Structure 1
C-alpha cells in the first residue's frame, strides 16, 4: 500500500511539474501584447516609462459614484502586465468623493507626482477639480499633496479635468488640461503646489485647437511640439484623436488631422490616449481606450496599445487599431 501511494504521489508530482512547465512555456512564448493589454474596464490611460519599466495609469471605468480609486499597471516588455491596485483612492483624497479621472504622472527629484481629476465639477461653487498626490514609488501608495484641488475653477470655459503635465526642454513643467471644448496651459511651480504667472500676468492661457473636446497630450520630437487631443463624444462612434505641430508649447496649433479612430470591424470609440517612446528601439506607442463591439454601456472601455509611426516629414501616420497589439520591446 505504501509503495502504491509513493508511486501515485510521484505521478501527481510529475503531472504538476509538466503542467507548470507548460504554463511557463505558454507565457514565455507569447509574442504579442494582445488588445486589451490587461483585463477590466479601464479608460483614459496615462502611459509612462520609469527606469526599465512601462507604466499605465488608467481611469477605472464605471459609474461616477464607483470611480473612487485609481489602479496602475507595470510591464518590462509590453507583454506581461502587473496590476498595482488602488495606488490612490478617496480615503486618502478627502475632498474627492467620485469621478476620479484621467491620471497624469511625472517623476521629479526621486518622487512621483500623480495628477487627477475628481468630482466632475459643473460649477465653481462645487468642490472638486484637478488634484495632485505624491509617492516615493511609481506603484504608490500616493498621498494628497495639497489637501485641496490644485485647480477648482472653470477658467476660459475649460472644465478642470483631463490634466497632462508637460516638461519643456528648459526644465519648466506645464499643466495642460480642459474639458468642454477648451484647453488651458499653466506654468507650474517647482514643487507643484501652485502656478507661476506668465510675463503678461496671466496664469491660464487658452491654446484650444479646432475641434478640440478633451484629453490633451504633448510630446517633443526633433525640436517640434506635437499637441494631441480627443474629439467627438466619449460614448459615441466619432470619438477619436487628432493632432497639431507647433514651435512652442503655446502653439499656435493648427489642426492637421485625425490619427486614431474606430474600426467598425474591431472596436468603437477609440480615443483619450497617451504616448510612450522607447529610445532604445526608437519605437513610439499610442496607448488608448476603445469600446468592444459587443458592448453598449458607455463605461465598458478597454485599454489598448498599438504602434505609432511617422512619415519622412515628421507627420503622424494614421494608426491601425488591432486585436494583436504590439510585440515585446524591452527598455
Structure 2
C-alpha cells in the first residue's frame, strides 16, 4: 500500500519539502539515489517491542514523497523479533540489498545483529537473504547495529557499530559473507574521537569523509561530527561538529546520511531531530537540509530549517 505525501507551495516560490518530510515518527534515515528517484529508508521510531517493520519513502524531486509500507518485517525475518533499526541499502546486479539491525543484542549469547534482505525493486517486498544475521557477535567492542554499506570502486564495505566503537569489514561479491583483509583479520576498528554510533562515509575530491553521531540519542546532546582521511581505513581525526540542536527549532539532531545528486557537487543531509515540544523518548522525525563545503573541503555547519529544500528533480 502506498500513500502520496504532497508538499504545499505558493505559485510564486519554488516548491519546498518542508521539515519534517512526512507525518509520523521516524529516525536514522538513509537517503539514496536509485535511478531517477530519491529513496529514504528510516527506522520506525517507537518502543523497541513495536519496532517490528520498516517503511520506505520515494520521491522524484525531494518534495513529493510516496510511502511504501512494511517493505520488511519480523514475519519475514524469522530470527528478528524487535528493535529493527537503521537500514542501509545498495543496488547490485539488478537487485536491491537492504541491511538492517534487529534485537538490540547485548552479548554474544543473544540472537540478533546485522541482517540482509533482498528485493527486485527498491520498494520491496524484501525477503530475508541469509536466514541468519550476517554479523551476530561483538568484534572490537562494537555492538552489531547501525550498518552502512559503502561502495569504493569494485569493493563493498560494511561500516557499523554502537557502544562507542566503529568497525569496517569487506563484503564478498554476493553479500553472503565477509572477506578477510590482507592481515587475516575480518573486522578493522576505525573508531574516531567521541564516536558513539551512526557511521556514514563518502568520497569527495579524492578524500574519504567519515561522519558519525555523538552524545546521547535520547537528549539534546545528540549531534553529528566528521573526520577526513586518504583511505576508508583512516585514521580519522575529528575535524568538528557540523549538525547539532537549534533550541528554537529542534534538539537531538543526528544519525544522518548524505545524498549527492549524481554528476554534481550538490549535497543534502538527511537526518532525524526532536521537535519542540517533544512528546517522548521516541519522538523523532525525519528532515532534510543542504550540506555545503568550504573551498578547503571542510563541511560548513548544516543549518536546520522548517522549509527544507527546494524541488530537485533527477530527470
Q: Which bracket does the TM-score occupy, shorter chain normalised?
A: over 0.9
Partner of residue 88, structure 2: 104
Structure 1 residue matching 2:238: 3-state secondary structure: coil
Runs of 5+ consecutive residues of structure 1 not aligned to the other structure = 1-23
Where does 1:243-282 land on structure 2 (aligned, <5 Å)? 243-280=226-263, 282=265
Q: Is the 8 A contact 2:115 2:134 kept in 1?
A: yes
Deviating above 3 A after TM superposition, structure 1's stretches of 4 or more consecutive aligned residues are 24-30
Partner of residue 3, structure 2: none
Which residue, 294, 298, 303 being the options, matches 2:277? Answer: 294
Q: Is the 8 A contact 2:7 2:18 kept in 1?
A: no
Structure 2 residue matching 1:71: 3-state secondary structure: strand
Which residue, 199, 219, 225 being the options, matches 2:202? Answer: 219
> Normalising by the residue count of structure 1, what TM-score does the alignment of the two structures yield?
0.91
Deviation at 1:281, TM superposition (A): 5.0
C-alpha distance 185-281 of structure 1, shift in aligned 2 (>3 A): closer
Which residue, 317, 321, 324 being the options, matches 2:304? Answer: 321
1:195-248 deviation per Cα after TM superposition (whole angstroms, max 9, x unaligned): 111010000000000000000000000110000000000011110000000101
Partner of residue 61, structure 2: 77
Q: Is the 8 A contact 2:7 2:63 kept in 1?
A: no
What is the CA–CA distance in structure 1 between the aligned matches of 2:284 and 2:180, rounded to whole Å? 38
1:106-127 deviation per Cα after TM superposition (whole angstroms, max 9, x unaligned): 0001100000000000011000
Measured on the aligned residues, the alpha-carbon RMSD in Å equals 1.3
Where does 1:30-179 land on structure 2 (aligned, <5 Å)? 31-169=15-153, 171-179=154-162
1:23-69 deviation per Cα after TM superposition (whole angstroms, max 9, x unaligned): x9966846111000111000000111001100000000000000000
> What is the aligned length?
307
- Larger mean CA deviation between 25-34 and 180-189 belongs to 25-34
Structure 2 residue matching 1:255: 3-state secondary structure: strand
Partner of residue 197, structure 1: 180
Larger Rg: 1
Partner of residue 312, structure 1: 295
What is the CA–CA distance in structure 2 between the aligned matches of 1:213 and 1:72, rounded to whole Å? 25
Partner of residue 13, structure 1: none
Q: Is the 8 A contact 2:8 2:16 kept in 1?
A: no
| More helix as a share of residues | 1
> Normalising by the residue count of structure 2, what TM-score does the alignment of the two structures yield?
0.95
What is the CA–CA distance in structure 1 between the aligned matches of 2:43 and 2:119, rounded to whole Å? 18
| More strand as a share of residues | 2
Runs of 5+ consecutive residues of structure 2 not aligned to the other structure = 1-5
What is the CA–CA distance in structure 2 between the aligned matches of 1:287 and 1:80, rounded to whole Å? 15
Q: Is the 8 A contact 2:79 2:131 kept in 1?
A: yes
C-alpha distance 204-281 of structure 1, shift in aligned 2 (>3 A): closer
